[in-house]
Structure 1
Amino acid sequence: MSTNPPVVLYHYEASPFAKKVQSLLALKGVPYTRVLVLNIPPRPALSTLLGITYRRVPVLAIGSDIYCDSAAIASALERRFPAAPTLYPFRVGVGKTAPIAEEVVKTDTAVVRALAFWAEGQVFPTVQDHMPYESLPAEWIHDRSGHRGAPIDIPTIVARRDDSKSTVASHLALLEAQLADGREWLLDTTAPGLADIIVHTPFAWARTLSSLADLFDPTVVPRTIAWLDRTSTYLDARRVSAPVISPEDAAHVITSAQAEDIDYTVGFNATDARRLGTERGDAVTVTPRDVGKVPTVGTLVALSSEEIVLETRGEVGVVRCHFPRLGFQIKKAEAKL
């Protein structure tokens, strides 16, 4: 019998970031179930049943721990499923026959995170300009305007599309240069890893948008096209069927599962907590710094330089909610929980 914890993905079908997380799960070979949620709040499957008001999806449950943001999800999958294929494969010619040493595997973690800031902070917004805003429902436009903190001005977006398309072309040129030496994978590794998935996600999405499709010209970016196809083929061959379950069933599975040993994996940095004006056991809020600034309120139970962990309570039970440190703000709540 498997001793692996249950894994549940909360997402909606059209989300590029959900596709990214599904690619991570495929690469790691982790079986999972799914809960389909609406593409706009409210999402009572999370907020009511589990007490998580974080407005973005996807989120991933592993046991009774909920990981918010794809960066936290990637880190959790790597540490919770160490026997699965690593997200940080060896460089070509390095350590192929030797046991995996942590200092080798972790060599490019900072580079991978920098790539994430580029792919998600620079590439993604320019690709996003080419979504078919003109035909999207008014309800969705209204929700995403609130999410961004400013109205979505469709005429302005349409007017700047040529400029943003030129920017996407420049990003493609950078990617083509990275692949110019004929390497198989983005960081010249023996297999695809987190870096490939991070960068593949926005460019594969861009390829599906009609106003950007002509940028993927095999005479201009042949190595990029080959890498995109190679990565897609590799991941598609490893995808498994993920059954859809009800929010209620998922919540009961999650809250009855074992929690991660966060004292060991995350710990508590008391010095940093003092800088933030809080301590273990305090009621705190965690809020994204960029968009979707809806706070999640809970009890602070773990804190490191990379991760924040809150305990939240919903109608079904208690879970632990994990956020990355970078990109999120933590504050002491005004009232006790």
Structure 2
Amino acid sequence: MADARSIILHEYPTSPFAEKVRLTLKLKNLAYSRVEIPVIMPRPDLMPLTGGYRRTPVMQIGADVYCDTAIILRELEARFATVSLRTPGHEGLGQMVAGWADSRWFQSSVAIIFGERADTVPEAFKKDREALSGRPFDTEGMKRVAPMMRDQWRARLMLIEERLQAGKGAGAGIYLIGAKPGFVDVHAYMNVWFMMNTVPEFANECLENAPLTRAWYDRLTETEGQEPETITSAEALAIGKAAAPRLVSATTKSEPQGFSPGDPVAVAPDDYGQVWVEGELVHADAQRIILQRTSPEAETIHVHFPRAGFLVRRV
């Protein structure tokens, strides 16, 4: 049964960003619990934990809540390093690949997928994603550009094939950096998984010309891990409320804006889903910012964000 020591993943099955975390948990063979959240708002039991942050997934361990895959994967590696997904000599490369996979490649995936589904996308989903992105969710526009985006998507896939081919020549070629999977693989995998699970005929057509990528994808997909326990959102909220946040040094080392512990600040993504989460600054460094929040529903919670890709301002 889940408790304050458990990894709790708030996600839904079709989320490609949640798939990054699910794959990481499998590769590390970690036990975890999951809360299946709605694909669209509202999420009344999750908002007290995140302070309003609404992108998927969110990870919770007791009264510590981690928003965005970047900080989730960093925390999983820090806490559970026995099976490491870092690639020595290539530090930082995983997050660089994530910047590419999560933006330009993901945008072409979205255009193809929703261009294919233009006539069947529910209006409620469109309105929800418009609120998330701050711009129209134009399925007809996606349908028009889908042929060009297919070209873009295929070109990006073939970069993986080139990388694996080069590694093969060096005696590896099983994964993107050497003979063991790492975070570079996790980030690159996301869009292939997303397309295989939504427009499989197109994905398979592309993979016919990328045999090393097909084998790489199959190896990652076949990774076996522990079967998660499913709990309710109310149970997860109760676990957070009953727990205390993990002790962390109250520091603002190398803080470029001069914030100090205790300052009221707000944090939001710098691209979409720009909901400002307010709280009292606990910790800030080059890669992480932690806010303390209190509410009747969750009592005292620490909310963790990555620094890259998030804006911070004084309240």
TM-score, with length taken from structure 1: 0.85
In structure 2, how many angstroms separate the alpha carbons of the residues matched to 1:170 and 1:113?
Answer: 21
In structure 2, how many angstroms separate the alpha carbons of the residues matched to 1:153 and 1:198?
Answer: 27
Task: Name the structure 2 match of 1:178.
Answer: 163
In structure 2, how many angstroms separate the alpha carbons of the residues matched to 1:247 and 1:214?
Answer: 36
Q: Tell me: CA distance 1:327–1:291, structure 2 relative to 1, closer, same or farther (3 Å).
A: same
**Aligned partner of residue 179 in structure 1, secondary structure:** helix
Structure 1 window deviating more from structure 2 (134-143 vs 3-12): it is 3-12
Task: Name the structure 2 match of 1:196.
Answer: 185
Give, in angstroms, the shift of residue 72 of structure 1.
Answer: 0.2
CA contact (8 A) 1:270 1:279 kept: no
1:71-150 to structure 2, matched below 5 A, reads 71-83=70-82, 85-89=83-87, 105=88, 107-131=89-113, 132-150=117-135
CA contact (8 A) 2:64 2:245 kept: yes
Q: Tell me: CA distance 1:259–1:177, structure 2 relative to 1, closer, same or farther (3 Å).
A: same
Q: Tell me: CA distance 1:279–1:297, structure 2 relative to 1, closer, same or farther (3 Å).
A: same
Q: Is residue 185 of structure 2 the alignment partner of residue 187 of structure 1?
A: no
Task: Name the structure 2 match of 1:307.
Answer: 288
Task: Name the structure 1 match of 2:149.
Answer: 164
In structure 2, how many angstroms separate the alpha carbons of the residues matched to 1:313 and 1:9?
Answer: 21
Q: Is residue 247 of structure 2 the alignment partner of residue 268 of structure 1?
A: no
**Aligned partner of residue 55 in structure 1, secondary structure:** coil
CA contact (8 A) 1:64 1:320 kept: yes
In structure 2, how many angstroms separate the alpha carbons of the residues matched to 1:170 and 1:246?
Answer: 41
Structure 1 window deviating more from structure 2 (302-311 vs 7-16): it is 7-16
Give, in angstroms, the shift of residue 51 of structure 1.
Answer: 5.4
Q: Is residue 315 of structure 2 the alignment partner of residue 330 of structure 1?
A: no
Task: Name the structure 1 match of 2:203.
Answer: 213
In structure 2, how many angstroms separate the alpha carbons of the residues matched to 1:302 and 1:251?
Answer: 23
Which structure 1 segments of 5+ residues have no match? 90-104
1:262-301 to structure 2, matched below 5 A, reads 262-263=248-249, 268-272=251-255, 275-276=256-257, 278-301=259-282
Across the aligned residues of Structure 1 and Structure 2, the Cα RMSD in angstroms comes to 2.0
Q: Is residue 214 of structure 2 the alignment partner of residue 225 of structure 1?
A: yes
| Alignment-mate amino acid for residue 231 of structure 1 | L
Q: Tell me: CA distance 1:51–1:124, structure 2 relative to 1, closer, same or farther (3 Å).
A: closer
Give, in angstroms, the shift of residue 299 of structure 1.
Answer: 0.9
Task: Name the structure 2 match of 1:253.
Answer: 239
In structure 2, how many angstroms separate the alpha carbons of the residues matched to 1:322 and 1:229?
Answer: 33
Task: Name the structure 1 match of 2:299.
Answer: 317
Task: Name the structure 2 match of 1:93.
Answer: none
In structure 2, how many angstroms separate the alpha carbons of the residues matched to 1:52 and 1:71?
Answer: 18
In structure 1, how many angstroms separate the alpha carbons of the residues matched to 2:228 and 2:248?
Answer: 27
In structure 2, how many angstroms separate the alpha carbons of the residues matched to 1:26 and 1:259?
Answer: 26
**Deviation string, structure 1 residues 211-243 (Cα, Å, up to 9, x no partner):** 62353242x21111111111111x2x22x2212
CA contact (8 A) 2:10 2:59 kept: yes
CA contact (8 A) 1:35 1:247 kept: yes
**Deviation string, structure 1 residues 155-202 (Cα, Å, up to 9, x no partner):** 2110101100000111112111001132111111x3211111111111
| Alignment-mate amino acid for residue 170 of structure 1 | A
CA contact (8 A) 2:261 2:283 kept: yes
Give, in angstroms, the shift of residue 10 of structure 1.
Answer: 0.7
In structure 2, how many angstroms separate the alpha carbons of the residues matched to 1:124 and 1:59?
Answer: 19
In structure 2, how many angstroms separate the alpha carbons of the residues matched to 1:258 and 1:78?
Answer: 22
Which structure 2 segments of 5+ residues have no match? none
Q: Tell me: CA distance 1:271–1:18, structure 2 relative to 1, closer, same or farther (3 Å).
A: closer
Name the count of aligned residue pairs: 304
Give, in angstroms, the shift of residue 318 of structure 1.
Answer: 1.2
CA contact (8 A) 2:108 2:153 kept: yes
TM-score, with length taken from structure 2: 0.90
In structure 2, how many angstroms separate the alpha carbons of the residues matched to 1:17 and 1:51?
Answer: 17
| Alignment-mate amino acid for residue 154 of structure 2 | A
In structure 1, how many angstroms separate the alpha carbons of the residues matched to 2:50 and 2:304?
Answer: 13
